[in-house]
Amino acid sequence: MVVTTQKLIQWKQQGRSIVALTAWDYAIAQLLDAAGVDLILVGDSMSVILGYETTLPITLDEMLYHAKAVRRGVKRALIVVDLPFLTYQESLQQAMHSAGSVLKETGAQAVKLEGGYPAMVETIARLVQAGIPVMGHVGLTPQSVHQLGLRQQGKTQESAERILNEAIALEQAGVFAIVLEHIPTDLALQITQKLSIPTIGIGAGIHCDGQVLVTSDVLGLAERHPPFAKVYTNLRDTITQAVQDYALEVRERKFPS
């Protein structure tokens, strides 16, 4: 069964949780897809595997390159691609070109844009009208790191109301789902109950319609990971040990045997 945007909305209505992870290459994408992940996000969080400190340096060309590789490894999951910083904020024309390039060149089914302020809502509405499926993203928006930091958002009544109103506005603009990042659990519950589209949480508690994590965090590949992530295995140590064992055997002329 191929996952579609309509299927995600149907799953929300049925109370079926949505499983999402990030991917950046063919090998990881193939494994995630075979393991039954519903949604694969080609996120600008790939900055961690490219050696950047934040998501800001990622370019559209880099996203397109990695999204093509991911697409080749996926048969079932829905693929959503982040639009990088300053590839959609300047104008509607720029956003349309960037989003259109993703769908035309990579074969991905949707794009994700950060923010729910009025100008962004208008841009998303126009993209949806043009036939481009869009996922929203509110709460902590990493592309605004120098403005927001990496702190939990929505902790005050005023900021919580703003995030709730942004989520409602994004649904009205036509997004098929929305990421809620690093917000209080009770706020995520309120938004999830208010919307008819799925909410995908990351550091937003158990009440969202689905969950997403950065795969390098899940696999223990990152040097550091956010407090809301869970490390399910430690591939960093496993890989290091395997390479050290290989190096030792080569130096001792035990490999090849």
Calpha distance 156→59 (Å, rounded): 34
What's the confidence (pLDDT) of residue 257?
87
What's the confidence (pLDDT) of residue 217?
94
What's the confidence (pLDDT) of residue 101?
98
Task: Count CA within 13 A, CB hemisphere, residue 220.
Answer: 10
For residue 228, is it within any domain? yes
Residues placed in the known binding site for Mg(2+) = 44, 82, 114
What's the pTM?
0.96
For residue 151, is it within any domain? yes
What's the confidence (pLDDT) of residue 150?
84
For residue 102, is it within any domain? yes
Reply yes or no on whether the pLDDT at 15 is more than 90: yes
For residue 256, is it within any domain? no
Is 156:199 a contact under the CB 8 Å cutoff? no
For residue 145, is it within any domain? yes
Task: Please state which of the ranges 6-15, 195-204, 227-236 shows the lowest mean pLDDT.
Answer: 227-236
Reply yes or no on whether the pLDDT at 149 is more than 90: no
Reply yes or no on whether the pLDDT at 39 is more than 90: yes
Arithmetic mean of pLDDT, 3-32: 98
CATH no. for residue 219?
3.20.20.60
Residues placed in the known binding site = 44-45, 82, 112, 114
Calpha distance 97→7 (Å, rounded): 27
Reply yes or no on whether the pLDDT at 48 is more than 90: no
For residue 257, is it within any domain? no
Residue numbers of the domain that contains 38: 5-251
pLDDT band at 206, cuts 50/70/90? very high
Calpha distance 243→248 (Å, rounded): 9
Arithmetic mean of pLDDT, 126-145: 97
Looking at 53, 90, 105, 181, which residue is catalytic? 181
| Catalytic status, residue 53 | no
Give the model confidence (pLDDT) of 80-130 as tens digits.
999 999 999 999 999 999 999 999 999 999 999 999 999 999 999 999 999
Arithmetic mean of pLDDT, 192-214: 98
For residue 99, is it within any domain? yes
Residues placed in the known binding site for 3-methyl-2-oxobutanoate = 44-45, 82, 112
Give the model confidence (pLDDT) of 164-193 as tens digits.
999 999 999 999 999 999 999 999 999 999
Q: Could you tell me the two tokens for 141?
A: 């928006």
Handedness of CA 147, 151, 154, 159 (dihedral sign): negative
Is 7:18 a contact under the CB 8 Å cutoff? no
How many separate domains does the chain show? Answer: 1
Reply yes or no on whether the pLDDT at 213 is more than 90: yes
For residue 169, is it within any domain? yes
